[in-house]
Amino acid sequence: MNYRALIFILISAIALTALFLLLKPTAEPPKVQATVSQSDTVNAESTSVPSPRTIELSIKDGALISGPQRIQVLQGEEIKLNIVSNHADELHLHGYDLTLKLKAKETATLAFTAKHSGRFGIELHHAHGEIAALEVMPNN
Ligand SMILES: [Cu+2]
């Protein structure tokens, strides 16, 4: 056999082995890390829905500091909003036209049935702003 051909075959074999090792799929499947992300949305598709659906909102200086900005519920659900604010204010749920007096640093509760579907702003009258919205998904 030709000497050159032998060297060529040898180099080719080494190159192919290297290529194989390089491209070989890893035996271990990539680990899927479960990430727990805090959503700013309460999902209507939650598996277990406690009744009434209770949502906690915290307000500081007229702005929402904890709790969902979009409160997503299903039409017909019983809703209980627990709201605490560092300043006294008046909360207004538009559409449903429900108001709630907020005393500074005291939890106030607005309980109602989400009869009407649609998007309804939740506003603070003294701070003049929408802090959150109620989104009621139609039931049919
Ligand atoms: Cu209003």
pLDDT value at 9 more than 60: yes
Domain segments of the chain as ranges: 41-137
Spatial CB neighbours of 74, under 8 Å, sequence gap ≥ 6: 44, 49, 114, 136, 137, 139
Q: 11-44 pLDDT, tens per residue?
A: 676 676 666 656 765 555 555 555 555 555 656 5
Distance from C-alpha of 87 to C-alpha of 104, rounded to nearest angstrom: 4
Ion ligand 1: residues, CB < 5 A: 92, 123
pLDDT value at 124 more than 70: yes
Q: Which of 1-5, 15-19, 114-118, 126-130 has the lowest mean pLDDT?
A: 15-19
CATH of domain 41-137: 2.60.40.420
Please compute, for residue 43, the number of CA atoms within 13 A of its CA located in the half-sphere on the CB side: 6
If you measure from the C-alpha of residue 53 to the centroid of ligand 1, how many angstroms do you get, rounded to a whole number? 23
Q: 72-123 pLDDT, tens per residue?
A: 999 999 999 999 999 999 999 999 999 999 999 999 999 999 999 999 999 9
Could you give the C-alpha distances from 107 to 18, 110, 116, in angstroms and in order? 68, 10, 25
